[in-house]
Chain A
Amino acid sequence: MTAPVLLGMPGPPPAPRGVGNLRGEAKFPAAARQALADTQLRQNLGRATRTIRAKRASVVAELPDWEQLREAGRQLKVHTMAHLADYLIQLEDQVVARGGVVHWARDAIEANAIVTELVRAKDVDEVVKVKSMATQEIGLNEALEAAGIAAIETDLAELIVQLGHDKPSHILVPAIHRNRAEIREIFLAEMADADPALTDEPAALAGAARRHLRRKFLSAKVAISGANFAVAETGTLAVVESEGNGRMCLTLPDTLITIMGIEKLVPRWQDLEVFLQLLPRSSTGERMNPYTSMWTGVTPGDGPQEFHLILLDNGRTAVLADADGRDALNCIRCSACLNVCPVYERAGGHAYGSVYPGPIGAILSPQLTGIEDNASLPYASSLCGACYDVCPVKINIPEILVHLRAKHVETYAEEHRLPSAEASAMTAAAWVMSDPTRWARALRGGRLGRVLGRKRGVIGELPLPIARQWTDARDLARPPRQTFRDWWVRDHEARDHEAGQ
């Protein structure tokens, strides 16, 4: 694809191909069709999203100032993005001043190479990991594996996904597509130290994972994490979590490597007040998350004695360059939009092909990769608007979806000499609709749908398969004998006639 051009200069690059997990193999409609046929998956997803929706709704209703909090969150993010370069440099200065090392990674390839080198320097072949979207995005585990380093996921759901040789399907609950019975089977098959008498009771499953992981925590020399927030004024990093595995990884190993997207910044310490209220309520439906870990550089004699912070771009600057799409960077990864999305609930996370599924994924992935590499995602929405209503930082997801559809249409037109069938149909429809006489004739000709394919010397009927996409599952009422506007004219002629008599 061609790079966007700003004032004659090539724009910031998208996330590179061939590395990481931002691009799926199939387009959304085809991937969704497969997922929809899996009734177990639909049951698991339906039950899980329904539960979490209800939890979120009840804890959000408790706060009388929820709307003000959302607005504060939005404004903080908008401000940060407008001054991102300054805040990033401030963060770097603070981290370095507190004994940390800061690395800048242009993309997934650079970030993976930096981590691999850092781990190799420690002469270990195993690292423990805190759940992190950024490392999933860049395919870090795969890169480390290629270098002979095993990356052990310590979040329970990530562990289930990893042991099941599976992919995450939700930002917060990566194994949401699995039920208890399936998890038990995965543990028995893949966890060498699992008790053969293991039941599918949640407490028993968690106990098995805890015993398995405890050994890893105690022996690991290097931990890898992401970050929920970084405070520019203090150089503090923050991870919020529920299980305590993160706290173990962040405090026990001697070396800590944190990979953070450059958009995760907040300017001041006190800004966390807003986000630490917004995030747990939107995310897990809790008033407060059980563990909030914060660290600033290195503290002698306490916790990791070596700290590396990797600041990851991987297409983010390209998103920032689009004034109509950049709000996607404001996302705090709560996943509330996934849980309320009727499309996500039916199709599941894997259908999106990217580690970022659901409504936020549909606006983030295509912007990170360049629109044409994920062109089907902005259309994976009925624009019902439920996502916008729950977003804790008020990202207008439906509006950005529509913006990205237009971006795709424009990019397609630039890259192809002939217009698409859809573009031709839309042009013809606009031509018909721009003139009342033509429009009335088209309506009278019946079959509103035919207007789309109305001939103007060049365009034929809409291809039949499109009509079938509708009639496969729904009847279509036969067009009426008379359009409304024809009725109006007749009716008013008759009335005038009566009035005249």
Chain B
Amino acid sequence: MRVALFITCLADGQFPEVGKATVRLLERLGQNVEFPADQTCCGQMHVNTGYSKLALPLVERYVDVFADYDAIVAPSGSCVGSVRHQHAMITRRYGTPGLVERVDTVAAKTYELSEFLVDVLGVTDVGAYFPHTVTYHPTCHSLRLLRVGDKPIRLLRSVAGLTLVELPDADQCCGFGGTFAIKNSDTSTAMLADKMRNVLTTGAEMCTAGDASCLMHIGGGLSRLRTGTTTVHLAEILAATREQPAALGREHDRAEVSSRAGRVH
């Protein structure tokens, strides 16, 4: 099986640890992961902001880059949701009939990480070790676009040393929503406040999820409030072992610097 990693913009440029963890995890499970360097973005930002037409070349690129692989894996429910649901929509409107067919084929073999592990590789115990108390936030697009269901929970329950605590109102959106967080920042922040309150009531050390974007939002809020509670991507937990623990704490450290910069404006 030829497996390609679709890294996603955010993991590539902002959270490379998520990508490295995904590679480490998949290799540990015996997969030979390839990273096609010509990949860029799935186009979701353009589509969701009202610029679907500009996303067409990005969709074409995605199809060209990944067509030859048996499986494409991304550490993001949202970007995979875009590939599986929006690519067809964009192509049907702006593309050619030939492209529509290719888009459907490539979309059908694009998987979010937990889907790939559970559905394709058939594993729930990935041999991870993570001695922390963690709560899980199911991101909206994993939950409702991809219907990953309890796959991430099953993976987390099998991690040695990990204590999983239930997040109240887990299915409520954290308020990120891409440009929504900017255009409607007050409403977004109100949603974030409730999500953070729920995370904090669990007493967990960390909040995990399958999307770096939602974690950037939740983690950014938790860091601003100096709660001491942090965020960690599902891939980083699943990649961690006794021999090679996750590189934690660096993100919080980085955030402090930018928060000072942010206040200058």
**Residues 1-27 of chain B, each 1 if its beta carbon lies under 8 Å from chain A, else 0:** 000000101111111110110010000
Chain B residues with CB under 8 Å of A382's CB are: 140, 173, 175-178, 180-181, 188, 191
**Residues 474-501 of chain A, each 1 if its beta carbon lies under 8 Å from chain B, else 0:** 1111111011110111000000000000
Is A469 at the interface (CB under 8 A from chain B)? yes
Closest B residue to A489 by CB, please name it.
Answer: B37
**In the complex the two chains form, is B61's CB within 8 Å of A383's CB?**
no
Task: Give the residues from 21 to 80 in chain A that come closer than 8 angstroms, CB to CB, to chain B.
Answer: 28-29, 32-33, 36, 42
Name the contact of B192 in the complex, choosing from A381, A389, A464, A474 (C-beta under 8 A). A474
**Residues 82-122 of chain B, each 1 if its beta carbon lies under 8 Å from chain A, else 0:** 00001001000000000000000000000000000000000
**In the complex the two chains form, is A383's CB within 8 Å of B140's CB?**
yes
Is A379 at the interface (CB under 8 A from chain B)? yes
Is B182 at the interface (CB under 8 A from chain A)? yes
- Tell me the complex Cα distance, A405–B54, Å: 14
Among B153-161, B218-226, B237-245, the stretch that binds chain A is: B218-226
Chain A interface, DSSP helix/strand/loop, else mixed: helix
Among B124-132, B201-209, B249-257, the stretch that binds chain A is: B249-257
Given the known interface contacts A384-B144, A448-B9, the answer about A28 and B184 at a Cβ–Cβ threshold of 8 Å is yes
- Tell me the complex Cα distance, A473–B221, Å: 6
- Tell me the complex Cα distance, A343–B189, Å: 11
- Tell me the complex Cα distance, A39–B47, Å: 34
A368 to chain B, nearest CB (A): 19
Chain A residues with CB under 8 Å of B46's CB are: 426, 429-430
**In the complex the two chains form, is A426's CB within 8 Å of B54's CB?**
yes
Closest A residue to B38 by CB, please name it.
Answer: A436
**In the complex the two chains form, is A32's CB within 8 Å of B220's CB?**
no
Query: What total of chain A residues lie within 8 Å of the partner, measured CB to CB?
Result: 67
Chain A residues with CB under 8 Å of B262's CB are: 467-468, 470-472, 475-476
Given the known interface contacts A475-B256, A485-B12, the answer about A402 and B191 at a Cβ–Cβ threshold of 8 Å is no
**In the complex the two chains form, is A448's CB within 8 Å of B175's CB?**
no
**In the complex the two chains form, is B255's CB within 8 Å of A477's CB?**
yes
Chain A residues with CB under 8 Å of B57's CB are: 430, 434
Chain A residues with CB under 8 Å of B171's CB are: 386
**In the complex the two chains form, is A443's CB within 8 Å of B259's CB?**
no
Chain A residues with CB under 8 Å of B255's CB are: 475-478
Name the contact of A484 in the complex, choosing from B16, B182, B221 (C-beta under 8 A). B16
**Residues 162-184 of chain A, each 1 if its beta carbon lies under 8 Å from chain B, else 0:** 00000000000000000000000
**In the complex the two chains form, is A346's CB within 8 Å of B190's CB?**
yes
Name the contact of B177 in the complex, choosing from A381, A429, A468, A477 (C-beta under 8 A). A381
Given the known interface contacts A381-B180, A448-B10, A477-B251, the answer about A426 and B49 at a Cβ–Cβ threshold of 8 Å is yes
Name the contact of B172 in the complex, choosing from A342, A383, A385, A435 (C-beta under 8 A). A342
**In the complex the two chains form, is A488's CB within 8 Å of B45's CB?**
no
**In the complex the two chains form, is A443's CB within 8 Å of B41's CB?**
no
Name the contact of A485 in the complex, choosing from B7, B17, B43, B143 (C-beta under 8 A). B7
**Residues 39-66 of chain B, each 1 if its beta carbon lies under 8 Å from chain A, else 0:** 1110101111111111101100100000
**In the complex the two chains form, is A379's CB within 8 Å of B183's CB?**
yes
**In the complex the two chains form, is B51's CB within 8 Å of A406's CB?**
yes
- Tell me the complex Cα distance, A383–B20, Å: 29
**In the complex the two chains form, is B190's CB within 8 Å of A476's CB?**
no
**In the complex the two chains form, is B16's CB within 8 Å of A477's CB?**
no
**Residues 429-446 of chain A, each 1 if its beta carbon lies under 8 Å from chain B, else 0:** 110011110011011001
Closest B residue to A376 by CB, please name it.
Answer: B183
Given the known interface contacts A409-B50, A478-B255, the answer about A483 and B191 at a Cβ–Cβ threshold of 8 Å is no
Closest B residue to A341 by CB, please name it.
Answer: B173
**In the complex the two chains form, is A36's CB within 8 Å of B186's CB?**
yes
**In the complex the two chains form, is A346's CB within 8 Å of B13's CB?**
no
Given the known interface contacts A28-B184, A347-B187, the answer about A484 and B7 at a Cβ–Cβ threshold of 8 Å is yes
**Residues 397-416 of chain A, each 1 if its beta carbon lies under 8 Å from chain B, else 0:** 00100100111110000000
- Tell me the complex Cα distance, A285–B183, Å: 33
**In the complex the two chains form, is B50's CB within 8 Å of A405's CB?**
yes
Is A466 at the interface (CB under 8 A from chain B)? yes
**In the complex the two chains form, is B184's CB within 8 Å of A479's CB?**
no
A149 to chain B, nearest CB (A): 39
Name the contact of A433 in the complex, choosing from B37, B40, B178, B192 (C-beta under 8 A). B40
Is B233 at the interface (CB under 8 A from chain A)? no
Given the known interface contacts A32-B187, A475-B259, A485-B37, the answer about A468 and B14 at a Cβ–Cβ threshold of 8 Å is no
- Tell me the complex Cα distance, A484–B33, Å: 14
Closest B residue to A438 by CB, please name it.
Answer: B40
Is B137 at the interface (CB under 8 A from chain A)? no
- Tell me the complex Cα distance, A342–B16, Å: 31
Which of B7, B140, B184, B257 gathers most chain A CB within 10 Å?
B184
- Tell me the complex Cα distance, A58–B51, Å: 40
**In the complex the two chains form, is A480's CB within 8 Å of B16's CB?**
yes
Chain A residues with CB under 8 Å of B144's CB are: 384-386, 388-389
Closest A residue to B8 by CB, please name it.
Answer: A484
Is A380 at the interface (CB under 8 A from chain B)? yes
**In the complex the two chains form, is B175's CB within 8 Å of A342's CB?**
yes
Chain A residues with CB under 8 Å of B217's CB are: 474
Name the contact of B12 in the complex, choosing from A405, A434, A484 (C-beta under 8 A). A484
A485 to chain B, nearest CB (A): 6
**In the complex the two chains form, is A479's CB within 8 Å of B40's CB?**
no
B9 to chain A, nearest CB (A): 6
Given the known interface contacts A383-B140, A482-B16, A483-B13, the answer about A346 and B187 at a Cβ–Cβ threshold of 8 Å is yes
Chain B residues with CB under 8 Å of A479's CB are: 13-14
**In the complex the two chains form, is A423's CB within 8 Å of B51's CB?**
yes
Nearest 5 interchain pairs by C-beta: A382-B177, A471-B262, A474-B220, A405-B50, A384-B173
Q: 7 pairs across A/B with beta carbons < 8 Å?
A: A382-B176, A384-B140, A434-B40, A436-B37, A439-B40, A471-B265, A475-B221
Beyond A32-B186, A477-B216, A484-B12: 15 further Cβ-contacts under 8 Å?
A: A380-B187, A382-B191, A384-B140, A385-B143, A385-B145, A389-B144, A402-B48, A405-B49, A426-B54, A435-B40, A443-B13, A474-B221, A476-B258, A477-B14, A488-B37
